[in-house]
Amino acid sequence: MSAESTNRVVIVVGGAMGIGEAIVERLARDHATVVIADSDANERLAQQVADNLHATGRSVSAETVDITDDGQVAALAEATVEIHGRLDAVVYCGMGENDATDLAPLLRFSGDEITRSSGAGTIVLISDAPELVDLSAEHELDGAVSLHTMSPTTFRLLDAVSDLLGAARA
């Protein structure tokens, strides 16, 4: 992530644990302002991640959101811009919990706020749901907002390679 993360405002949906939490930690370490957006069920975990990183001087907060609800997603995107001045990116870590229809509010409202507040940005969908793989080709976003899909297997492979390289050094 590096210097490009510096001063970016990023919403990480599903950032309370697992891959999402690792992404939150990396973005925060790279000095991005991070809003963890997670479900009611993970509210406590999301707040704990935010509090731990905030205690180290990082700009991280936690919000509860149902990403299938137009009103909640719009309110999250608008509040992020109101509080932080802009929205540069959204990372969705759903691991197959939602399908393409469920993500429509997230794509629509996040894309609109990214375009309005930053002019350009990125939405990344990390999921193992097969119907999300082709979503970037099917969903129209403003040309200034790029949409990428990624399998969580990529992260598992990176962890395995990292473990092997660490073992080789020992």
Domains of the chain, residue spans = 2-169
User: What are the pLDDT tens digits along the chain (170 aa)?
Assistant: 444 556 899 999 999 998 899 999 999 999 999 999 999 999 999 999 999 999 999 999 999 999 889 999 999 999 999 999 999 999 998 765 666 778 888 888 888 899 889 888 888 888 777 676 566 555 556 567 877 777 777 766 666 676 677 655 55
- pTM (2 d.p.): 0.84
| DSSP SS3 for 78 | helix
Element (H, E) at 109: helix 104-118
Task: Using the structure block, give the residue that is written with the tokens 């959101």.
Answer: 65
Domain 2-169 indexed as CATH 3.40.50.720: yes
> What pLDDT, on the 0 to 100 scale, is given for residue 139?
54
Cβ atoms of 37 and 11 within 8 Å: the answer is: yes
